Structure 1
């Protein structure tokens, strides 16, 4: 399942064609930490790609602030990125937000924390990625601290406008300053792996194919002189 829209953003389209495993290998090769640790799709069929729209949560004050009425201001095609500090005792996403985001053409939602009402995101095919899901509300427990700021998702820094890609294996973030290099590297890795598969299908031994197409160097970090 996917809400990946047609886009005029060339690099979003490139990221959408790649899987997170290949992008992760490219990040490793370039020495960039962009893998969002323990962030998983609520359904294995979810896929998304888009640019990050970020929001940071903090503990609720007294009186408590709100968990946010931001959804109508998020541009279509964006990935909503919610930093709830990894909290697993209070949710910041549920069925109303899922329905509106799906209707508005949002690419997906990523949460450093938990969500609820997972049945609706699955039935609509709206991609939600989080550490887990649980039913308890975040109202009066957390509040919005800021929007449009750098946040942390599973130990990966996400700045507004960064490329975000999610699939069955999780979520990666590609910093805007490095996106061309990461995408170029990922596409080269994908091409090399496809040559290995074709060689094996043609009768070559796997170890020979890996050696010929330098498989064991594909993820090795590049050393700058």
Structure 2
């Protein structure tokens, strides 16, 4: 199914989208969530998982993958834990085969080599090998979660590139994308003007660079 706003977001970088979020007063920058490779690019709608400490007996950590639709971004909230992983090679292989757009983790992953080999985008705080099995479990799926101090709800628009991940709330995505496109076109115009011989100061003044990210009055 075509999704025009996913396609629009895919044409924009996270820095531009971040500026648009700032302009609109929306906190959607996922702090410290980084790609395992600077070549990774990812755009899609959030399918969320919330983790918690394992019960006794412990619950599962990963059987949800069969339910995730093609083109989704898997968003895993492990409360920023860096001592146990919630993503590894089996999940990477299945997600890649299912054509899931990528995985975002507030926490860590392991088996980095396979996601690099397959080109499957994984964004997380860091990587380490210790399993989360019997240490954490899935508490809920498709609920609001916290990723790098940004609230992510099911269906929100996520964009990832070499600079990290931004989450665009579904109810604000039209305004955010429109603002980001305006910033993108203005910055392109500034670069073109400088190449044609204008000074950077002149080009920025002409295309109102210093007002592009100014928060809108409420």
Give the shorter-chain TM-score range: over 0.9
- Tell me whether 1:43 sits opposite 2:37 in the alignment: yes
- Tell me whether 1:214 sits opposite 2:208 in the alignment: yes
Question: Aligned partners of 1:91, 1:144: CA distance in 2, in Å?
Answer: 13
Aligned length: 218
Identify which of 103, 116, 122 aligns with 2:116. Answer: 122
- Tell me whether 1:83 sits opposite 2:83 in the alignment: no
Moved more, 190-199 or 59-68: 59-68
2:78 is paired with a residue whose SS is strand
RMSD: 0.6
1:107-143 per-position Cα deviation (integer Å, ceiling 9, x unaligned): 0000000000000000100000000000000001101
1:185 is paired with a residue whose SS is helix
Identify which of 17, 21, 24 aligns with 1:27. Answer: 21
Question: Aligned partners of 1:98, 1:168: CA distance in 2, in Å?
Answer: 19
TM-score w.r.t. structure 2 length? 0.99
Identify which of 45, 55, 58 aligns with 2:52. Answer: 58
Instruction: Tell me how far 1:67 sits from its aligned partner.
Output: 0.7
Identify which of 138, 159, 163 aligns with 1:144. Answer: 138
**Structure 2 partner of 1:164:** 158
TM-score w.r.t. structure 1 length? 0.96
**Which 4+ residue blocks in structure 1 deviate beyond 2 angstroms?**
none
**Structure 2 partner of 1:17:** 11
Gaps of 5+ in 2: none
2:83 is paired with a residue whose SS is strand
- Tell me whether 1:199 sits opposite 2:193 in the alignment: yes
**Structure 2 partner of 1:184:** 178
Question: Aligned partners of 1:49, 1:74: CA distance in 2, in Å?
Answer: 15
Question: Aligned partners of 2:171, 2:119: CA distance in 1, in Å?
Answer: 31
Gaps of 5+ in 1: 1-6
- Tell me whether 1:154 sits opposite 2:148 in the alignment: yes
1:174-225 per-position Cα deviation (integer Å, ceiling 9, x unaligned): 000000000000000000001100100000000111111111111111112x
